[in-house]
Structure 1
Amino acid sequence: MGACCSSKKKNQGEVGEIREDDLKGIFREFDLNGDGFIQREELRAVMQKMGQSPTEDELDAMFEAADKDHDGNIDFQEFLVIAKANPLSLSLKAVFEELDVDGDGYITRSELRTAFQRMGHSLSDQDIKAIYRHVDQNNDGKINFSEFCEMMTRRK
């Protein structure tokens, strides 16, 4: 995981930068009841939709890492810290491996489409092209782990 944490700084606005608006959209995907917070059960439900089966201990660890004020909720600011800091308990490698269904070390367009379908969303070809324009830095038509980490750890 060390490789993904040593990403090069990007200039604000540069192609590929994950914007706070994008993170708000991701946050809303986790906030199933729309109350502006992610509760423990919402975290579990979203992870299960993504094909993961977190144990109670894993959920506890993730929630403890995120819920800094210990109010039982993850607000957007706490979510931003997770999204940008990549704490070990929310391993990007595990997420990447879930998305990389065939285990070849790359997330293909098909795998990306499947991941979004599992979360209840359908992506148009246009959507997928837009994502790849921002993430696929070497333009090989696939997202490797380094590109994935770069996307997930970019700071605004």
Structure 2
Amino acid sequence: MSPLNTVHLHRIFDKLDRNKDGHVSIDELMWLLESIGVGAKGDELELLVGQTTLDPLDFLFFYETLVIKGKSSCNNCFVQEKHVHEVEGEMLERDLRKAFRVFDLNDDGFISCEELKIALSRLGLWEDHCGQDCKRMIDVYDSNSDGLLDFEEFKAMMLSD
């Protein structure tokens, strides 16, 4: 079984939040567990969760904690962890390619200064009076000094700290 993505988790959260108060309570979590045949006591579940309600972000962290604990108790952890990292890597690569296409306006596989300026303007992130030089922005990550960013250079830029 593959891990759930954020969209799935938000849908689950919305279904669990039966009173639509923006939080999933211990009682709502207990309802879920009982509906799938897992018995749990409220006080034990509260100890596990660490609080009486979860907002959407807390719910995501709670799920990730369960996934991490589940991985650490499995016999095939290395294989599962490798698979998860491969899937995450593929998703990241796909997302970076989509972002690259936002800037590569003429679809030639490179981002020029002009394309960068236009894309940033469209996104509301570029102002003519701010004095930034797009050439200098590109030069920082232009490893082959051709004045353009290819996908690998763009990826390095996006993944840099």
Using structure 2 for the length normalisation, give the TM-score: 0.41
Structure having the larger proportion of residues in helix: 2
The structure with the largest alpha-carbon Rg is 2
More contact order relative to length (CA 8 Å, sep ≥ 6): 1
Using structure 1 for the length normalisation, give the TM-score: 0.42
